Amino acid sequence: MDFGPHLLLASLEGAVGAAVLALTALGLSLVFGVMRIVNVAHGAFFMLGAIVAWWVADALDAGSALNFLAALIIAPLAAGAVALVAERTILRRLNYNPESTIVATIGLLYVIEQVALMTYGPDARPVEAPWDFRVQLPWFGYSGYKLMVIAASIAVMLAVWWGLTRTRIGLMMRATQFDRETARAFAIPVDKVYGGVFAFGAMLAALGAVLVVPIQQAHYLMGNDPLLLSFIVVIVGGLGSLRGTVLAAVIIGMSDGIISVFFTPTLAKIIATLVVAMILVIRPKGLFGTQSA
């Protein structure tokens, strides 16, 4: 293949990665923005989404399209439910202390991962794509499903943006993010908002995972890379800034896709990790952050 088409292919792969990453990172960013906590178990919710998707498809066995559709609905709900329980029983009792929460969510990450290992097992298993349609470009054919992933991710992000800016629930979330005490004074049920935001963050991660299982198989350790990448995205985008998060996801997802087509992954990862660390050292609030970290 020539350089031009090769670059196009790499960009498309990057865009698919960016689409999934943006959804996952958006969940992490919402939780950080509204609740001021870092959820280390976010990658575990991602993994949970993928595994539940496999279970649903396996149990239902009603053809690839229906299986996938059912997984798309059930998996995020399942991850959201687990997150809600964790929030009610653990995080709330810690009073959302930032450092205690990190320790607790590390624990939660291990628990979810190990329960997945005990029940789902150590194997990697795929979920079939809902359809097997290829878009024929002049140089190569490209998976229609992957293009749909990009479209779906954009649609979900627009919906989230609409929900945050145009609905009452979104207003409550933004008020809580702005100042928890004042929000309480205005009779906003801050406690419920926290539970809802934490569950919703997990649902976004699970949704990203369902979209990814037809491309990449479900495995009990699959959440670790998305967690690290989401972290990077949220930090670079500015802790708590949703617009920054999406922008950073696109930049990082695209460049990650393109870099891994052309370069050795280890060196690229080392450099990327160091760059993120240095960004935080120089600008602790992130590139686009306005709020204090």
Partner 1 sequence: MSRGSFNKAAALHLSAVGVLFALHFILPDYHHGNLARIMVLASFAMAYNISFGYTGLLSLGHAMFFAAGLYTAGLMAQFAGLGAAGGIILGLAAGFALAVAVGCLALRTTGVAFMIVTLMFAQAAFLTIFYFGEYTRGDEGFIIPSLQRHLFGLSLAEPAVRYFVALTLFALCVAVSYGVARSSLGRVFAAIRENEERTRMLGYNVFLYKLAALAISGAMAGAAGAAYGLLFGYVGSTFASIQYSIFPLLWVLMGGAATVLGPFAGTLLMFYLVDISSAFTTANMLIVGLALIGLILFFPKGILGTLRERVAPWLP
Residues that bind partner 1 in the complex, under the rule CB under 8 A: 38, 90, 93-94, 98-100, 102-104, 106-111, 113-115, 117-118, 228, 231, 235, 239, 266-267, 269-270, 273-274, 276-278, 280-281, 284, 293
* Residue 130 CA to its chain's centroid (Å): 21
Cα separation, 233 vs 8, in Å, equals 23
Of 252, 200, 248, nearest to 225 by C-alpha is: 252
Residue 35 CB, shortest distance to partner 1, in Å, is 12
Cα separation, 281 vs 115, in Å, equals 36
For 4, other C-beta atoms within 10 Å of its C-beta total 9
Nearer to partner 1 (CB atom), residue 65 or residue 106:
106
Do residues 250 and 205 touch, judged by C-beta distance below 8 A?
no
Nearer to partner 1 (CB atom), residue 119 or residue 167:
119
**Structure tokens that stand for 252 in this block:** 């990082």
Half-sphere exposure of 96 (CA within 13 A, CB side): 15
Residue 62 CB, shortest distance to partner 1, in Å, is 32
Nearer to partner 1 (CB atom), residue 29 or residue 143:
29
Nearer to partner 1 (CB atom), residue 41 or residue 247:
41
For 138, other C-beta atoms within 10 Å of its C-beta total 5
Residue 49 CB, shortest distance to partner 1, in Å, is 19
The type of residue at 164 is L
Nearer to partner 1 (CB atom), residue 47 or residue 235:
235
Residue 57 CB, shortest distance to partner 1, in Å, is 24
Residue 243 CB, shortest distance to partner 1, in Å, is 20
Which SS3 state, helix, strand or coil, does residue 241 take? Answer: coil
Of 173, 198, 290, nearest to 241 by C-alpha is: 290
**Structure tokens that stand for 260 in this block:** 């891994």
Nearer to partner 1 (CB atom), residue 12 or residue 35:
35
Residue 136 CB, shortest distance to partner 1, in Å, is 39
Angle between helices 190-212 and 144-166 (to 10 degrees): 170
Residue 29 CB, shortest distance to partner 1, in Å, is 13
Nearer to partner 1 (CB atom), residue 215 or residue 228:
228
**Structure tokens that stand for 155 in this block:** 């649609």
